Amino acid sequence: MQETVRVVVAEVSEGDRYLITQRSEGSVFGGLWEFPGGRVRSGESDRDALSRALLERLGVEVEVGDCVEESQHTYAPHHIVLAVYRCALRGEPSPLRVASLAWVAVEDLDRYSFPPADSASIARLLGEDDA
């Protein structure tokens, strides 16, 4: 039986640009880009996990808003439940535990390589979702 892992990510915008982070080499999907976030630990709420992950990885506090999307993906040996929350940062992010970060215009998101789980979020932002 596959382990189910809940992952929460922040959709942070500044004008028409969105914050994305690059996964560290040597990690799963190393070198690919994603919305910042992380796994929900046992006993944590989504909001607590997102606050912890952004503080650890980017050194910023975050105001967690509404969940705008939830999707499921299977990467052996895990089943991933990915929840996307609109968020606002308190402070300027720094790449503490990520390889890099970038503020990217919506129309330029397709120039970056993302893990498959992020494809629905990218399509929604680009207005390509069929929902």
- pLDDT tens per residue, range 59-107: 999 999 999 999 998 877 788 899 999 999 999 999 999 999 999 999 9
Class of domain 3-125: alpha beta
Strand pairing partners for 38? 8
- Residue 114 CA to its chain's centroid (Å): 10
Sign of CA dihedral 19, 17, 10, 1: negative
19-23, 42-46, 104-108, 124-128: least confident range: 124-128
Provide the pairing of β-strand 61-75 with 17-22.
Answer: unpaired
pLDDT at 131: 43
3-state secondary structure of 83: strand
